[in-house]
Amino acid sequence: MPNITVVLLGSPVNHGVLDVVVKEFGWFLEIAQSLDDLRVLSTDRHIVALLIDPAAIQLSPSEALESAMEIAPRARRVLCYRFSDTMSLAEMADAGAFQTLATPLNPTEVRQCLGFVWAADRRKPANVVSLDEHPAPRRKVTPSITPKVSSTVA
């Protein structure tokens, strides 16, 4: 299995904090300066989280999320935003953000965010049956009590 990786798409976000926290999870951190760099990384790495700085790649938050979803559809997309950004958190979630992180990055918030990513990555989706799992054949159940039929003569 490829290395489990967190990718920072766009570089201006302070990745020193990110590097320390990512290592706590036993993951690797990669920097993608552009969507093309992300395409290259997504070919041979298991990208568990993708932190996106839309301003750094000169896209709107919704365009950045949509592009990232096309390139790395299984990655949890974390949108990095500035307090001056005008997009609401609800709009970010509707656009496909798994989580959001305010910049500059706070180590506690990064750790919590990646903890959510870690938990989501390990949780098996509810109504999914693996192809390796074969359900047991169904048995026909017959009632053990036979209902009484009474006949009344009038």
Give the Cα separation of 56 and 12 in Å (integer).
6
16: left (phi over 0), alpha (psi -120 to 50) or beta: alpha
42 neighbors 73 (Cβ within 8 angstroms): no
So what's the pLDDT on residue 5?
A: 96
Q: What is the pLDDT of residues 100-150, one digit of tens each?
A: 998 888 999 999 999 999 999 887 666 555 555 555 555 555 555 555 655
Which residues, listed in sequence order, are joined to residue 52 by a DSSP beta bridge? 9, 79
Q: Which residues contact 56 (CB under 8 A, 6 or more apart)?
A: 9, 10, 11, 12, 13
Q: What is the pLDDT of residues 22-65, one digit of tens each?
A: 999 999 999 999 999 999 999 999 999 999 999 889 999 899 99
pTM, rounded to two decimals = 0.75
Give the Cα separation of 125 and 44 in Å (integer).
24
Domains within the chain, CATH numbers bracketed = 4-122 (3.40.50.2300)
Residue 85: is it exposed, middle or buried by C-beta count within 10 angstroms (0-12/13-18/19+)? middle
Give the Cα separation of 12 and 37 in Å (integer).
15
The 10 Å Cβ neighbour count of residue 95 is: 18
Give the Cα separation of 89 and 77 in Å (integer).
14
Q: Residue 11 pLDDT more than 90? A: no
61 neighbors 94 (Cβ within 8 angstroms): no
